[in-house]
Every structure is written in C-alpha cells, then in structure tokens.
Structure 1
Amino acid sequence: MIRRQLAARLAAPGRVVPAAPLEAPPLGLLRRPDLAVLPAPVACPLLVVEVVAPHFLESDHRTRARDYAAMGVPTYLLVDPRKGTGVLHTYAG
C-alpha cells in the first residue's frame, strides 16, 4: 500500500523500488529496506521504508536509523502495522 501511494505521487524520473540493496563499503554497511525512493540518475535514495518485524524492533528503531543517516539517506520511514503507526527519521547531512 505504501509503495502504491508513493509511486502515485512521485514525479518522474524518480522511482519506488522494493527491497533495493543499499551498500556503503567505506562504512561496512549493507542494508535492504522494504522500499526505497530513488532519484534518477541513481545516487542515494531520497527515502527508505522499513516495516517493523517483531524480532528486529530494536534494530529497526535505533541501528537502522543511525546506519541510513551514515549512508546519506535523508529520510527513513519506519512503519509498525500492528500499531498503525509510523516514525519518520530525517537527516539533513
């Protein structure tokens, strides 16, 4: 549902990509968010989306927010469908 909503509002030439691997070799980081919004040409995602999994709750809230900021991703949306909530993390670089 989030993918459809983002894609409907995204101006070309950007795109919404499910499970796009994001790698930052200098930082030793590899992440695979549930969704990523990519500008064109692809450089760094403008937004990544993670849907909370109960066994990754701590990782999704703290570790991934820190890692995505370190990777230069300016916006990270963490969605908890069990609670019907979302947390938006932003990083100004």
Structure 2
Amino acid sequence: MSDEQRDFEAYLAMRELLPRLDAAIPGKWEITKEGITHDAATPNGPHELTVLRIRKRLEQATPNNLVAHTGVPDVEDEPKQILRRPDVMVIAEADTEGEGAFDPRSLLAAIEVVSISNPENDWVSKMRDYPAMGIPVYVIVDPRTGSGSVLTDIHTTPTGPRYATRKDFVYGETVTIADWTIPTDNLPRYA
C-alpha cells in the first residue's frame, strides 16, 4: 500500500470516528492535514450571539438566492483530506440541497468566530486549510480582541495556496465580505 493510500485510509477512519466523538464529547471536531482537531469548549453566549448577528447581517446584504448558513453539514474536500465546520458559510441556496457535506468550492465565504479554547485553529490551521480547499473569502472575527480580518485572493506559494490579501478591522467598522458590506458594531466581546 502506498503512503497516499495509507493517508487516505487514515482520513476515512477519522471521518468515521467524528460522529461518535460528537456524541460522546462536547465541542467541535474537525479533520485537518495534521489529524483530528478539537475545540474543547462548547460555544458560549458571546460566540453564538456573534455568529447569529453576522448571519443575520449577511442575509440582509446578500441576494435572495444566497444564504448565510450555520450548522451542519460539514465542508469536506475529500481528495485533500480536510473536513471543516465553519461557523457561517455564504453559499447559494441551490448548493445546500442534497445529502452529505458541502463542496468547499461552492462556498463564497467562510466566517469563523474565534473560540476561547483553541484560537490557533482559526488563526493558523484554517488560514492554511481554507485557501487549499478553494474557499475564496475567509473572515475571522475575534471576540477576544474586538477585531478581525478578511482574507482574499488565493495564490500559489511553495508551501501551498495562501490568501494574498488581508484587511484587518476593529469592531464598529463596516467590513466588506466578497461583494457585500456588513457592520461590525454591537458584536459581543469575551469577558
């Protein structure tokens, strides 16, 4: 068996394990190139309220054929062996039909609200995984600092695809996400 086949078999085993982990241990489980990652904290009030407000603001700003989707299903790039669960995904409603995980190339944007227990997941590994999956816009909202970043313009580098453009913002500013703008005022901060 080749190394690639062995890696793929390991990925399938991890993917099979996720539902059991979800049922047994609170938190959010995802698969990265390094293996299974766990955000141990159950999302707290400020995290969930931030997700809700961003979702509502995006749905007001986007055309009717698009949705700001939260929850399941996952976003999976099986050939790259990556399975992620963005907090908010902007996607055409038609692309949400059907069974199974969303194709990451159907997402117009992924928005993550940084968790208290595992901020490196959002700021480091998703910054690597989302451009590799072909997600054109990645937005990080960080309630720890009251700031965030919008990352765009995927380009090739010697270590793999990366976002070429990063626009930082602080809460209270209007942010452009792809073709839409939303306010970031009244987003809760972590205490």
Shared fold (TM-score, shorter chain, > 0.5): yes
Distance 1:41 1:26, change over 3 A: same
Q: What is the aligned residue count?
A: 93
Quote the residue 2:78 is aligned against.
25
3-state DSSP of counterpart to 2:145: coil
Contact 2:116–2:144 (8 Å) recurs in 1: no
The root-mean-square deviation of aligned C-alpha atoms, in Å, is 1.5
- Residues 18 and 40 from structure 1, CA distance in 2 versus in 1: closer, same or farther, beyond 3 angstroms? closer
Q: Which has the larger radius of gyration?
A: 2
The aligned amino acid for 1:23 is E
Which stretches in structure 1 are left out of the alignment for 5+ residues? none
Which residue of the partner structure matches residue 116 of structure 2?
54
* Bigger relative contact order (CA 8 A; separation at least 6): 1
Residue of structure 2 in register with 1:8 after alignment: 60
Equivalent residue letter for 1:73: I
1:36 equivalent in alignment to 2:89 = yes
Correspondence 1:86 to 2:181: no
Shift of 1:55: 2.1
Q: Deviations over 1:28-80 (max 9, x none)?
A: 00000100000254252101111101222112111101101111100011101
Normalised to the residue count of structure 1, the TM-score between the two structures is 0.90
Overall identity of the aligned pairs, in %: 34
Q: Is the 8 A contact 1:48 1:73 kept in 2?
A: yes
Distance (whole Å) between structure 2 residues aligned to residue 53 and residue 74 of structure 1: 22
TM-score, normalization by structure 2: 0.46
SS in structure 2 at match of 1:3? helix
**Aligned AA for 1:91?**
D
SS for the counterpart of 2:135 is coil
